[in-house]
Amino acid sequence: MHPQLSSHPAHGSATDRRLNSMLRHIDPSIASSSLSSMDSQISASPTSGFHGDSVFAHVAQAPEDSILGVTVAYNKDPSPIKLNLGVGAYRTEEGKPVVLNVVRKAEQLLVNDRSRVKEYLPIVGLADFNKLSAKLIFGADSPAIQENRVTTVQCLSGTGSLRVGAEFLGRHYHERTIYIPQPTWGNHPKIFNLGGLSVKYYRYYDPATRGLHFQGLLEDLGSAPTGAIVLLHACAHNPTGVDPTLEQWAQIRQLMRSKGLLPFFDSAYQGFASGSLDADAQSVRMFVADGGECLVAQSYAKNMGLYGERVGALSIVCKNADVASRVESQLKLVIRPMFSNPPIHGASIVATILKDMNMYDEWTVELKAMADRIISMRHKLFEALRAKDTPGDWSHIIKQIGMFTFTGLNSEQVAFMTKEYHIYMTSDGRISMAGLSSKTVPHLADAIHAAVTRVR
Amino acid sequence: MWRRCLWRRGISSSAAGWWDHVGAAPKDPILGVTEAFLADTSPRKINLGVGAYRDDEGRPVVLQCVRGAETKLAGSQFLESLPNAVNTKLVEESVQLVYGKETDIVQERRFAGIQALSGTGACRLFAEFQRRFYPESPIYLPVPTWSNHHNIWRDAQVPVRTFRYYHPDSKGLYFGALMDDIKSAPDNSFFLLHPCAHNPTGVDPNEEQWREISHEFKVKNHFPFFDMAYQGLASGDIDTDSKAIKIFREDGHLIGCAQSFTKIMGLYGHRVGCLSILSVDENQAIAVRSQLQQIARAMYSSPPVHGSLLVSTILGDSQLKALWEEEVKAMVARIIRMRAKLRESLEKLDSPLNWEHITNQVGMFCFSGLSPEYVDHLARKFHIYMTRDGRISMAGVTTSNVDYLANAIHEVTRFGQEDSSQRRSFNAFIPHISYAN
């Protein structure tokens, strides 16, 4: 995929650096030392269109995003019996995407309100939305909120919140390394790298137990440099579904505070994991309760089904109100050159729901129903594999939490399941339980059984 | 410069916080004006800061075509992120709008297009893309330009250079200097151009000048990047306003273009825009697009659906589109009327200064020539708010406030010396690369 290189003396180092940079994007495995010089055909003198060539002629096709690429492949498959267990997007029993009733209601209210305008939001976003989001994750009675120690800015879903947080840390924080769990959501390292941080991993998942590698986690965080940033999945770890228990969280908190490690929470599944919004926020609240500082990225993509509207928030809990206000002013400087101000529609829907007691209650009921359906799919799949006597211990399917199951299948087995059974999932063996229904569980169980018995 | 803090040893949760060293950032020069305006309690206050259209009662407007699209859409869409469908449709409509439906570019799919978070987002994606593939290259920005352009390319870590554009004495295009700067820039430089309704000056090259610029770009192999935020809002006509781009395309340039639907459709809060980069063939376009998607994926994954559904619904429905074009003409007509009224009122007051530029300049803004001192005076004494470079958003002027505005401007300038104050104003505005935190 990368261009042929021939030995060519007498080309400036600036061009070499440019090529190095370009090649790293095409194929990150190319070490820069392997580049001695350049082919004279490649971008020595970029030309404009009328010479018949583009200045971007050397741009190579970027690899497909591995998660979204699954859906692309699924869509291309002509088979009538196919299953998309790739992207973590909720589906009903009928396999249809869902717009929550309460969301439809909120949208209708907004459309019917002729006094509503489409003016720019402030740089930090919709004020109501920000306050309500903070209350949702930290708790309405959180002292941090009452003491005005929290700054919350509206961002584009979880991704956008993480990116703005990363850019802020890259500029204002003395440690530029973030420790992220092994494994983690595929987009995490890219977000942090492009946001200006370097990434290291801490042990998290133990393939032997298909559970938490707690010892490894404690050791790795214990040996991180003081002040390092640590990414924590607030609940329903993606992709493994393995969460620390509350006791384990307490130990993690203790260790992190004693080493001065800075927590950066990614909360994408509040309410979706256990069905309870408060229960799913316990880890975050534990850290805030000790008076310390942290960052929290919130997403409403899944728990309100607002995937496409990109609704999220970044909160930074600070030592005091004065610091929080200064931090907010700096967050604005990150946001303005990125997108100026955030989109109004999704945040308006969320604010409408969160501030109305009845709508809020309706939401919690619909949310619990989604969480419950996923839990029941877990049990159905587990039962189906047990009934088939599929070799192996499949209890992790019911122990893991949230939208995903880390099956433990290897990439050959996954490829086999895609080819023979038209089942689409990421190659790390992660399946989205939300994509399953009672009707499709048997097909999946068949496929897993076949993969495990026929492919090593 | 990013501030570095002292390394802190946090032994326990009660140790000193991480952010004590973080200084208060200065307010955004444009959006900060609205904040000041909102804080003002005077009933006479006027907001001439941000470029958001107002009707003659000074109220924000939701276009009828937008309401029509909303009604059409209500309750029918799935709210999932749609990496393809909605994005593709929006991109299709956008490129047809700016390049023309029947053009070879569009027919042969020789464009890499991606939906972006309005104009800001489109520029930022391009800046990041430029950095990725031409890491040493600077961007040339006109003097003056929208202040956020400097922030965008700086945050993408692309060095910024400037080229002369506006002449404070003539209050017109500094054409000779502009051509000199194009010629003296190193070959293959990246330039940002406003295709119409230059922000903040309202001064545009005429057709002949555009042709000369395009020709010189060919000679120098420069890359033209257009920031198209006002298509339709300059002259009232969609095609007229994309003439500059047409000229460049006909000359064979493979341009880049950021489009914003913010002002032209009144969708400020929805953040709908598009970035397109032209290519020699479809394969190249696919490659470029894949890179842009990667950049977007690490920034916000995918753009919000609602606004882009509104835009593509309007542009894809012949009735709604016709209605939109009418409403754009009406917005332009009102702004032109306000320009005429303001100039007339100032001249009637026997202002010693020349106010021709108010009606010569094009688009949403008038680059008044008022110095920062006059601007501050207008805010303090008259509760009239504009950016400190003297840029007035004409959309904020109404039949009922135009006389008050004229009187206020006359009051502060009647004894002032035109040339030095206006030149001071202009020079004071030239942005510095080392942007203050």
Q: Are B311 and B95 in contact (CB under 8 A)?
A: no
For the question of whether the overall pTM of this predicted structure is more than 0.95, the answer is no
* pLDDT at residue B283 tops 80: yes
- Whole-angstrom Cα distance, residue A278 to residue A353? 17
A308 and B81 within 8 Å at the Cβ level: the answer is yes
Domains of chain A with CATH codes: 68-98+371-454 (3.90.1150.10), 120-355 (3.40.640.10)
H or E element that contains A421 = helix A411-421
Q: Which of B19, B114, B278 to mutate to test the interface with A (most CBs of A within 10 A)?
A: B19
- A66: nearest CA partner in chain B: B294
CA of A243 to nearest chain B CA: how many angstroms apart?
Answer: 24
What's the pLDDT band for A3 if we cut at 50, 70, 90?
A: very low
Name the nearest CA neighbour of A277 among A236, A230, A318: A236
Beta pairing class for A423-424 and A430-432: unpaired
* Residue numbers in B near A64 (CB within 8 A): 290
B269 and A341 within 8 Å at the Cβ level: the answer is yes
- Whole-angstrom Cα distance, residue B103 to residue B97? 11
Domains of chain B with CATH codes: 27-61+333-433 (3.90.1150.10), 64-316 (3.40.640.10)
Mean pLDDT, residues B395-419 = 88
- Whole-angstrom Cα distance, residue B192 to residue B149? 9
* Residue numbers in B near A89 (CB within 8 A): 80-81
Q: Which of A105, A249, A302, A380 is catalytic?
A: A302
Q: Is A302 a catalytic residue?
A: yes
**Running DSSP on this structure, what letter comes out for residue B54?**
B
A258 and B11 within 8 Å at the Cβ level: the answer is yes
Q: Is A361 a catalytic residue?
A: no
Percent of chain B residues past pLDDT 70, beyond the cut? 88
Q: Are B178 and B213 in contact (CB under 8 A)?
A: yes
Name the nearest CA neighbour of A432 among A175, A198, A95, A149: A95
From chain A residues 220-259, the ones with a CB under 8 A of any chain B CB are: 226-227, 257-259
From chain B residues 126-165, the ones with a CB under 8 A of any chain A CB are: 128, 132-136, 148, 151-152, 154-156
ipTM for the whole complex = 0.84
Span B213-244, pLDDT tens digits: 999 999 999 999 999 999 999 999 999 999 99
Span B148-187, pLDDT tens digits: 999 999 999 999 999 999 999 889 999 999 999 999 999 9
CA of B376 to nearest chain A CA: how many angstroms apart?
Answer: 23
* Residue numbers in A near B269 (CB within 8 A): 118-121, 341, 343-345
Tokens read off for B123: 């520029």
* Residue numbers in B near A300 (CB within 8 A): none
Tell which wins on pLDDT, B421 or A387. Answer: A387
* pLDDT at residue B197 tops 90: yes
Q: Which of A120, A128, A344 to mutate to test the interface with B (most CBs of B within 10 A)?
A: A120
Span A188-224, pLDDT tens digits: 999 999 999 999 999 999 999 999 999 999 999 999 9
**CB atoms near residue B18 (< 10 Å):** 28
Mean pLDDT, residues B6-35 = 63
* Residue numbers in A near B308 (CB within 8 A): none
Q: Are B174 and B167 in contact (CB under 8 A)?
A: yes
B269 contacts chain A (CB < 8 A): yes
* Residue numbers in B near A188 (CB within 8 A): none
What's the pLDDT band for B354 if we cut at 50, 70, 90?
A: very high
B304 contacts chain A (CB < 8 A): yes
